Structure 1
Amino acid sequence: MAASEQVEVELKFDVDPGHTAPDLRALPGVVSATEPETFELDATYFDTENLDLAGNRITLRRRTGGTDAGWHLKRPSDTPGARRELTVGFDEAPADGDVPEPLLTPVLAHIRTRSLRPVAVISTTRTVTRLLGVDDEPLAELAEDLVTAQSLLPGGHSHQWAEWEFELLSGGNGKLLKAAEKTLRAAGARPASSASKLARAIGSTPTVHEPRLSKRPTALELVVTDIALHRNSLIAYDPLVREDAEDAVHQMRVACRRLRSVLSGFPTVLDAERTEHINSELKLLARILGEARDSEVQLELDKSLLAGENASPELRAALAGAETRTHDRAIRQAHKAMASDRYFALLDAVDNLIASPPPGPDADLAATDVVDKAIARSRRHIRKAQARLATLTEGSDEWSEQLHTIRKRAKRLRYSIDAAAPLNKRRYREIGEIAKKIQSALGDFNDIRINRAHLRSIVDAGELGAEDMFIVGRLDARLEADAQRAVAEYRKAAKKL
């Protein structure tokens, strides 16, 4: 089923019914305008009983009439004043059918296991005038709307109002938008009282709980604010993982790990017993995503290794073929996990944690005091691991594993410091930079270690020709030199910790 997406940039105004719109042909870049054309639009809006979509400024509707009849999903955009609109026409998804899957997938992380139902019906008499530029290029259009809306929520009411919408088209720009706003307001238009027709139809809606730090935040305020930040990141990357977007698995996995790092890095701020289940579920999700991410990394490394090498198809297949199959299998497992009630229950649990955090013994302490304690604890753990490293034979498997342990502890330190970023303390940033360098250097070392083991397994299979064996030897020598450089970078950073 095909879906098309566009970014919608528009201005919305309230006006008195019957108020005459001004002539906009004098706006910059406008050469002419079409004759006004009137349409009758009828839309049904869908949401959950809890209004999970409306609370996240998302609208899902089925609309007949006009030039874009079909199913529409509107979501916030990174562009200020813009929204993303995803459309599936009735030729792809009938009006009397279920909500089409391409519109459900992007919002599953919001609706989860809850059912969608009609929450409002809105009828609009729309008169559209299109503004044209040179060679009849469409610049913008003004829609004069007379709206009748009926809320289908318990106790809902009927509303009638008039509004104007000025939307940029493919040839429009910010200068035109700014000029249009000035002209329309001078003609009597008022700032819209609601962000959308649906918001006006159903009235106030619950919104996603977004904690804010006070001037002197407590430890609980800092921790809950950070959890909300990473919850938002996890939900934002959910639909991108479902559509296999580049780097989405990595970013969603990072969000899981950062959530876990807050829970484990500040164990006395929240009630540990009441957050233990969330921590373990996040760990499982991160592991599932990690299998897909690790195979992605390995595929990238395999490609970079063979860049510029005259390797045979057999060697290329030996390096990348099995990894491709592993990656495809891991992605399928990730998608399966993200379609489960267990995953949606985890998202609900995180939301409940943010809305009603169970305080631990240090919840009311100053945020800086608890961060200082967490940093000191992480640094002790790193130094203990480094002392253990010094007792091991350099280059041994146990020594390499210990470097990996140090890397994980440096990452935990870095995440704890990242959580304290709103406090804007220079001493935290300096330690965080050191932890980042340690993590990066030892991450490179671990990737190299995995690659060298992969090369050894290919050699041990005994299926390569002499020329390919020579290439493998050269690759291994290059990796060995890279590993030595990574260890040197780690040691240089570790001296400053």
Structure 2
Amino acid sequence: MESHIRYLAALWFQRQSRRLGKQLPGIRQAEDIECVHRARVACRRLRAGSELFTDWPSAKRHRRWQCGLRRLGRKLGQARDKDVQLIFLSDQWDRAPSLQVRVGLAGLILVHQAQREAAYRKADKAVVRFRKTGVLQEIQGQSRRVLRQVNVSQEELLLWPLWEGAAEKIQLYTDELTAYAPSLQHGQDHTSHHAMRIAAKKLRYSLEILSPLLGPAVHPVLQALEEFQTRMGQLHDCQVWLMELEAFQDRKHLRRMRKKWEKVGLGSAWNAEAFRAAVCWLQEDRRLAQAKLLEEVGWFWHARLQEEVGDRLARLVQQALLRGSEASEGPQRQFALGWRS
């Protein structure tokens, strides 16, 4: 692996591992919900780095790091999802059209609070297990060693060519993003919508890692991807809510809900009709929000993002590939010309 690639890898892993390390104590204390969110994002970015730098630092360590980060990230994701759902339900309280709906919302909040507590207990255990693996210390130690050995300035990085493996990753994620775009015309194609969101996220993180090689010109692409990812995340949340609310119509769910109320001493306040009223009201609200978001993401893709990844990004990748010595210009040029085919 060339020195500038090792430098990029070490720089990225050092930055993200520090961010992750700062958030882990806050997860254990469970006082600030943003600790879980920030730690989850750092895990995702570290995993994105592992997918891009597949030979760094070694195959064995690469697998170990990926496994540890994946396990931690999964539990953090479950905890974060419950935080987001509770925030949403609390926000709906003032919008509730009737007292009956509010009583039903109280039941939903109670259930999600219990689920959040369980998710945080699992996240806490995952943090303990992750610390014991020593993966975080390994990442930080390896990054420090490389950064002490290799010193590359920003100006020098802009003179180095993009390596073909990185260009192939960019092309893969861009192709996936484009392939799933027609699904935005189909409101019920949740699987493709989710896959398109993941492709946008992977492309964005990869470009963030490679931005020292691509230069400031990549910033509009990153901004567009971030906006698109935010909208797709909101759409995904709507779709998850609709599936969950549909499941709450089941009688087994209602029985579980009543048991939870009785467990905390609220059995006399249980009202199945109020709960159904809240579920129906939320379903209608989420359907309307889903339709609006689908229209917005469809417009954003055609009006902005498609051009950014299909035109601006393609040019930047070609330019970065074509940098380098005269000796390597031939094969790099052939690859670059085939990038958009």
* CA distance in 2: counterparts of 1:458 and 1:231, whole angstroms: 39
Question: Which runs of 5 or more residues in structure 2 are unaligned?
Answer: 147-155, 255-271, 310-341
What value does the CA root-mean-square deviation take over the aligned residues? Answer: 3.2
SS at match of 1:340: helix
Please state how far the C-alpha of 1:239 moved relative to its aligned partner. 1.6
* CA distance in 2: counterparts of 1:250 and 1:340, whole angstroms: 19
Change (3 A) 1:451 1:467: closer
Please state how far the C-alpha of 1:315 moved relative to its aligned partner. 1.4
Partner of 1:478: 288
Please state how far the C-alpha of 1:490 moved relative to its aligned partner. 4.6
Query: Is the counterpart of residue 446 in structure 1 residue 236 in structure 2?
Result: yes
1:488 maps to a residue whose letter is G
Partner of 1:347: 136
1:451 maps to a residue whose letter is W
Query: Is the counterpart of residue 404 in structure 1 residue 191 in structure 2?
Result: no
Partner of 1:464: 273
Q: Which of residues 208, 225, 246 is equivalent to 2:11?
A: 225
Q: Which of residues 391, 395, 400 is equivalent to 2:187?
A: 395
1:404 maps to a residue whose letter is H
Please state how far the C-alpha of 1:366 moved relative to its aligned partner. 5.9
Please state how far the C-alpha of 1:450 moved relative to its aligned partner. 0.9
SS at match of 1:261: helix
Change (3 A) 1:475 1:390: closer
Please state how far the C-alpha of 1:410 moved relative to its aligned partner. 1.2
Q: If the length of structure 1 is used for normalisation, what is the TM-score?
A: 0.49
Partner of 1:294: 81
Partner of 2:328: none
1:241 maps to a residue whose letter is I
1:437 maps to a residue whose letter is E
The question of whether the paired residues in 2 share the 8 Å contact of 1:265 and 1:412 is answered with no
Change (3 A) 1:470 1:435: closer
1:284 maps to a residue whose letter is R
Change (3 A) 1:321 1:222: same
Q: Point out 4+ residue stretches in structure 1 off by more than 6 angstroms.
A: none
* CA distance in 1: counterparts of 2:119 and 2:67, whole angstroms: 20
Q: Which has the larger radius of gyration?
A: 1
Partner of 1:437: 227
Which string of whole-angstrom CA distances, capped at 9 and with x for unpartnered residues, describes residues 225-249 of structure 1? 1111111111111222222123110
Q: Which of residues 46, 57, 70 is equivalent to 1:259?
A: 46
Change (3 A) 1:485 1:422: same
Partner of 2:113: 324
SS at match of 1:370: coil
* CA distance in 1: counterparts of 2:47 and 2:133, whole angstroms: 17
Change (3 A) 1:417 1:366: same
Please state how far the C-alpha of 1:375 moved relative to its aligned partner. 5.3
* CA distance in 1: counterparts of 2:199 and 2:125, whole angstroms: 31
Change (3 A) 1:420 1:476: closer
Q: Which of residues 209, 214, 218 is equivalent to 1:419?
A: 209
Query: Is the counterpart of residue 488 in structure 1 residue 298 in structure 2?
Result: yes
The question of whether the paired residues in 2 share the 8 Å contact of 1:250 and 1:293 is answered with yes
2:161 maps to a residue whose letter is D
The question of whether the paired residues in 2 share the 8 Å contact of 1:289 and 1:334 is answered with yes
Normalized per residue, the structure richer in helix is 2
Query: Is the counterpart of residue 250 in structure 1 residue 37 in structure 2?
Result: yes
Which string of whole-angstrom CA distances, capped at 9 and with x for unpartnered residues, describes residues 68-127 of structure 1? xxxxxxxxxxxxxxxxxxxxxxxxxxxxxxxxxxxxxxxxxxxxxxxxxxxxxxxxxxxx
* CA distance in 2: counterparts of 1:481 and 1:393, whole angstroms: 11
Aligned 1:18-417 pairs, distance under 5 A: 218-244=4-30, 245-268=32-55, 270-309=57-96, 310-312=98-100, 313-340=102-129, 343-356=132-145, 369-370=161-162, 374=166, 377-388=169-180, 390=182, 394-396=186-188, 399-417=189-207
The question of whether the paired residues in 2 share the 8 Å contact of 1:371 and 1:417 is answered with no
* CA distance in 2: counterparts of 1:219 and 1:424, whole angstroms: 13
Change (3 A) 1:351 1:237: same
The question of whether the paired residues in 2 share the 8 Å contact of 1:253 and 1:286 is answered with yes
Change (3 A) 1:408 1:464: same
* CA distance in 2: counterparts of 1:409 and 1:348, whole angstroms: 30
SS at match of 1:247: helix
Q: If the length of structure 2 is used for normalisation, what is the TM-score?
A: 0.69
* CA distance in 1: counterparts of 2:144 and 2:280, whole angstroms: 60
1:277 maps to a residue whose letter is R
Change (3 A) 1:284 1:248: same
2:74 maps to a residue whose letter is R
SS at match of 1:369: coil
Change (3 A) 1:488 1:343: farther
Please state how far the C-alpha of 1:445 moved relative to its aligned partner. 0.8
* CA distance in 1: counterparts of 2:82 and 2:20, whole angstroms: 20
The question of whether the paired residues in 2 share the 8 Å contact of 1:262 and 1:416 is answered with yes
* CA distance in 2: counterparts of 1:300 and 1:346, whole angstroms: 32
Please state how far the C-alpha of 1:486 moved relative to its aligned partner. 4.1
* CA distance in 1: counterparts of 2:38 and 2:242, whole angstroms: 26
Please state how far the C-alpha of 1:377 moved relative to its aligned partner. 2.4
Change (3 A) 1:343 1:485: farther
* CA distance in 2: counterparts of 1:491 and 1:341, whole angstroms: 38
